[in-house]
Chains A and B, each alone.
Chain A
């Protein structure tokens, strides 16, 4: 990974170049399991972003005091406390939403994306950089989850954010709200992203050769 200079660069790389779901393929469990509706995907994305940001800031601030040998334990403790906050917050806002997300909110603790960013980035960089990175990753993660969730909800239920999109008599695709639908939607998005990336790389190479 090259080292970008400004905070904006740190933010932007999470959106596309190092997108956590489509490029790094991290945090697959929530991306596949709770992306069955757009609402679930959005909530999951925002919750993960919050935890990502707060734990990134804390890890970066405490990096000097965390012993190297016990760093994973410390990271998990930090992450877990923020996850608990999010868990209670969602429960307070909407019990229904909390039920539909089930255990996956608690499982944000073990989301390898958060641990990965803490270990690989936040512990080695300043708080400002860590925050920019965490925000970028969070937005990238949310966008990816939302793009999977929207496809699954539109095909699987004919709605988007619980708003009916089609006139009466729409044939729902049962498979898309089932777990296998997550894999199909994910695979098709990966295909699209990789195709675009490949095209960009080819174009860049041709440009280089020409100049």
Chain B
């Protein structure tokens, strides 16, 4: 933080950590860059276009809506850029670009702006956009192209440039995600492939190692509450260990559960959305526990192979209630009970 040389008179607090929205968000973008890089390396031109279109549509929506209501555009604080990148990372690589735009406009417009913009969004806007696409275009959202296909840097899949509103036609080789293989063929995938992203899947969810590295970077800089991912991953590992112990043939192993699908991306970058997650540390543990349990339940017994997105959105809905339940004591006072607590809401 730069210090002004002129004499400043202000009331407390006088000491600032220097953290501001754009500062933190800038570092999140940095932490995401390796993941984006790997996504482009694994899925080629299509992934680059998907991530770029996703980011552009989110930023443009935010800018346009704010200008429409004559508000100052908040695009320069990077937050919507992160929403856009994260949203792009959750999409299948061969998704038609017009669908990418629709999800981005929906996520930022309805998931964020209608709730009041940054810091008022009850749900993670990136996941709102993805959930809408999943409900609107289920076939296109579950069409996974092969990773590391030979012509990925020169050719685009035919579906990417589909005319708006038209049904995509696929020519590229498809391959099931590890979770789908698990669900429908009951076959597991090796851990090295999962950890280093050699499998098919959403653009940015495949390489667990890079996601964890990005998360560790942010956690060390204190820009991400490490309790949330740790709690989610521990819950998933614990529950799947138990189930795997009971019926090893039927339920996937904990290691597979941890490294497959969108769990890493969701736990590290999605669930930790500062607005939609609880405020207190105890609340964060509870929130992570809830997400982890929901992920395991949806994956084992749900109709779909993957459930991280719905688990996080459901937990987002619960997080204000977690905040009400776990109220910190105001510094210098004793814990009070009754109605007084409600008045202190938001002071933490």
Give chain A's interface residues, CB within 8 Å of chain B.
166, 169-171, 173-176, 178, 180, 184, 187, 191
Contacts and interface: CB of A to CB of B under 8 A. Distances in A.
Q: Which 5 A-B pairs give the minimum distances between C-beta atoms?
A: A175-B135, A175-B136, A171-B167, A173-B136, A169-B167
B168 interface: yes
B128 to A, nearest CB: 12
A92 B125 CA distance: 48
Contacts of B132: 175
B64 interface: no
A203 to B, nearest CB: 16
Contacts of A173: 136-137
A170 B132 CA distance: 18
Given A169-B169, A173-B136, 12 more contacts: A166-B165, A170-B167, A171-B140, A171-B166, A171-B168, A174-B135, A174-B136, A175-B135, A175-B136, A180-B135, A184-B110, A187-B110
22 contacts: A166-B165, A169-B166, A169-B169, A170-B165, A170-B166, A170-B167, A171-B99, A171-B137, A171-B140, A171-B162, A171-B166, A171-B167, A171-B168, A173-B136, A174-B135, A174-B136, A174-B137, A175-B136, A176-B136, A180-B135, A187-B110, A191-B114
A174 B140 CA distance: 11
B138 interface: yes
Interface string B125-156: 00000001001111010000000000000000
Contacts of B136: 173-176
Contacts of A169: 166-167, 169
A184 B135 CA distance: 12
A60 B163 CA distance: 57
A176 B137 CA distance: 10
A187 B113 CA distance: 14
A71 B162 CA distance: 60
Contacts of B114: 191
Interface in B100-131: 110, 114
Nearest to A171: B167
A173 B136 CA distance: 5
Nearest to A176: B136
A169 B159 CA distance: 13
A178 B131 CA distance: 14
A170 B137 CA distance: 12
Contacts of B140: 171
A171 B135 CA distance: 13
A184 B133 CA distance: 13
B85 to A, nearest CB: 24
B303 to A, nearest CB: 15
Interface in B6-35: none
Interface in B151-189: 162, 165-169
Contacts of B135: 174-175, 178, 180
Nearest to B133: A175
Contacts of A166: 165
Nearest to A180: B135
Nearest to A168: B167
Contacts of B137: 171, 173-174
Contacts of A184: 110
Contacts of B138: 174
Contact of B165 (A171, A174, A176): A171
A181 to B, nearest CB: 8
Contacts of B165: 166, 170-171
Nearest to B168: A171
A13 to B, nearest CB: 29
Contacts of B162: 171
B39 to A, nearest CB: 25
Interface in B23-78: none
A111 to B, nearest CB: 28
Nearest to B99: A171
A36 B136 CA distance: 14
A166 to B, nearest CB: 7
